[in-house]
Amino acid sequence: MLCPEGVRKVGIIGGGVAGVATARVLIAEGIDCVIFEKTSKLGGVWTSNYDGFGIQVPASLYAFPDEPLDGDDYAKGEVVEGYVVRYAKKHGVTDVVEYETTIVAMAHDGKTWTLTTSTGAKRGGFDAVVVATGVYSTPNAFMPAVPGRDKFQGSWVHSVDFTEARICSGKRVVVVGYGKSAMDCAQVAHHVGAASTSLVFRDTHWPVPRKILGLVPFEYATFNRVGAGVLSPPYASPGPIESTVAKIPGFLSAYWKLVSFAFSKQFGLGPLEPKLPLANDIWCGQGVLPDEEFFTLINNGAIDTIRGIISDIKDATTLCITKPDGTTTELKADIVVFGTGFTQDFSFLPANLISKKQDDGLWLFRNIVHPDVPTCFFVGSQATTFMNICTSSLQARWVATALKQNGLPATDEVMRADIAEKMAWKRSTMPEAGANRARMLQLHQVHYHDELLKDMGVPIRRKASALAEVFDPYRPDDYGSVIAGTVARETKDQPSFLKELALFNAACACVVAIVIAIFAMKD
């Protein structure tokens, strides 16, 4: 039991997509809630970011499960912001928001939570709190310290503040980083007429094409059960498909070598081909879906690439770049943009949760809750997938289900064992993930979503047929009835995946034949 008298009031910290998704389901379940949003708008990162920012997946994959995102694929930020606000208004979320309210502390008196704002005001009486502050938060933008920074006289900004690209016209622009934001900023700088555009980075990471070989949308290789079944490493608790794949000698290795070969050729990576294997790189959260033009600009010399770090500032317009071999080169710049990501702020959390944080993150049951603090939930801030808005919505429904039932779906012993299992699995399979390891789910999103559904007693099969269950990508709208609360709950175990397994075995046989044929031709 979470609360002796039941859960009546919930505080939600953050008004981005995760906070909106949480309020939407709580309101529908008749649970009073309040969103504390630090800015004057709902939408989180979609309210303001670098010039030209947008989603890196098709609109059909980045949407609330019960409301499609209409319009062009790879929608721009302002389109997504408008969509989030409309969704919030439709479900009464805008009526429960306190804007320009920053939470700086949380305290539990053994019965309810009290939240302290940046002005010192106290807001109490919350039976539960949902932390929906997201992974990317503007005040926590990360920029590496550079010796001699005060010598540089040009613009020195993080990508989130790179909101007026026109300042790059006629300027020498250097962008630091190799993720989506860095690639986008370099591309937009070139298009507004920068005198030169250079991309400086420590390491390269694998790009994923929007259409594989220019034909197949990437989600058909990764977002369905056949794609989830060939992921490397397999999920911590492998199902029948993963177990079958693991028994085929050399299959996973050959499969991912083939995919890597195809991606490298499609993008013309050459010397930019990453050292880390494709599967490992994506698993560690480094994969990116660049704009289709990006590598063309690199390959034709429009954007220069330099592997190294800014190690010093020589004078007002000269950067010193140290390369991996230890040599140093100079690079002229008028504008430096850092697409170097964000850090997470845990300072407002209660001491008993801060103490749980380790060097590789905050380890939680289902990436949502710790058994020692059962009325503090995390939605969208401790889990990253390629369908974050869908994942946050499912997490929100999971939380709402627990609150309505006044209890978590597993015992403390089971939750601790699951946390330990996931921790051991990730630490052994993703050594390069660093401080982000605990929250990384990435392409294992189908498996993760299955776990959430099982906890709620909801059927995990969302497709109309066995064929679709194996080959059709899982999209947000497959979970629409779950979020809307209209799905029928399971009263017994679902039958085994026999049809799906048979189809998958046939698919594996075809892929093996293709792999053998391609490598035979290469030899």
Q: For 43-82, write each residue's pLDDT tens digit.
A: 999 998 999 899 988 899 999 999 999 877 889 999 999 9
| Paired strand residues for 277 | none
pLDDT for the residue numbered 279: 87
* Distance separating alpha carbons of residues 457 and 187, to the nearest angstrom: 46
* Distance separating alpha carbons of residues 195 and 492, to the nearest angstrom: 66
Q: What percent of the chain has a predicted confidence (pLDDT) above 70?
A: 93
Place of tokens 């939600």: 12
Q: Left (φ > 0), alpha (ψ -120 to 50) or beta: where does 177 sit?
A: left
Give the three-class secondary structure for 106.
strand
Average pLDDT of the chain, as a whole number: 90
Q: For 102-115, write each residue's pLDDT tens digit.
A: 999 999 999 999 99
Q: For 192-205, write each residue's pLDDT tens digit.
A: 999 999 999 999 99
Query: Quick one: CA torsion of 218, 69, 344, 189, rounded to 10 degrees?
Result: 70
Q: For 465-487, write each residue's pLDDT tens digit.
A: 888 988 999 999 999 999 999 88
* Distance separating alpha carbons of residues 210 and 220, to the nearest angstrom: 11
pLDDT for the residue numbered 13: 97
Place of tokens 């008196």: 109
User: What are the b/e assignments for 424-436, b being 16+ CB within 10 Å?
Assistant: eebeebbeebeeb
Q: Model-level pTM? A: 0.92
Integer angstrom CA distances of residue 446 from 74, 235, 420? 21, 10, 21
Mean pLDDT of 352-362: 94
At 312, phi and psi to the nearest 5?
-170, 165
pLDDT for the residue numbered 491: 43
Count other C-beta atoms under 10 Å from residue 256's C-beta: 18
As given in the structure block, the two tokens for residue 368 are 């949502």
Cis amide leading into 233 (omega within 30): yes
Mean pLDDT of 347-356: 94
Three state DSSP letters for 436-473: HHHHEEECCHHHHHHHHHHHHCCCCCCCCCHHHHHHCC
At 264, phi and psi to the nearest 5?
-60, -45
pLDDT band at 285 (very low <50, low <70, confident <90, very high): confident
Q: For 229-240, write each residue's pLDDT tens digit.
A: 888 888 888 877
Identify the burial level of 34 via C-beta atoms within 10 angstroms of its C-beta, where 0-12 means exposed, 13-18 middle and 19 or more buried: middle
